[in-house]
Amino acid sequence: MTSDPKSPSPKSASRTRDHLANERTYLAWMRTALGLMGLGIVLARIDEILPEGMLGVRQSWLLGLIACLLGLLMVAIATKNYFDIRQAIELDTYHPQKWWILLISVVLSALGIVLIHGIFNVSD
């Protein structure tokens, strides 16, 4: 029995799947970053939308700026992470990094707390 010369080797097929999964993960981080930047734009402009004195949104521009900056930071970190994982896949040395997930979880949780406090803190 001869193998089909056009079919990829099992190792090659696995590597291809790994690269495609890495790209999907990268795109998911990009969507999250874009969502953060979109939220930042809405927050920065919310005082123009809401009636005067509603919900104490005087500092909404600062919350919007923070969200936009976090989105930009996420783009940079996700891009670096993508290329690091790509190289690790090629060298067959990939090991999942938990610091990345923990960092993003902590930062986004902190942003959520700040947003909730900023939006629902009624100041006189």
Contact assessment for residue 88 and residue 69, using Cβ atoms and an 8 Å cutoff: no
- How large a percentage of the chain has pLDDT more than 90? 40
Q: Has residue 86 got a pLDDT over 70?
A: yes
> CB-based burial of residue 40 (10 Å sphere; 0-12 exposed, 13-18 middle, 19+ buried)?
buried
Over residues 52-76, mean pLDDT: 80
Over residues 84-98, mean pLDDT: 91
- Sign, CA dihedral 23-28-79-86, equals negative
**94 Ramachandran zone, left/alpha/beta (phi>0; psi -120 to 50):** beta
pLDDT computed for residue 22 by the predictor: 94
Over residues 81-109, mean pLDDT: 89
pLDDT computed for residue 63 by the predictor: 81
Q: What is the pLDDT of residues 23-62, one digit of tens each?
A: 999 999 999 999 999 999 998 888 777 666 555 556 778 8
Q: What is the pLDDT of residues 4-27, one digit of tens each?
A: 666 666 677 888 999 999 999 999
pTM over 0.85: no
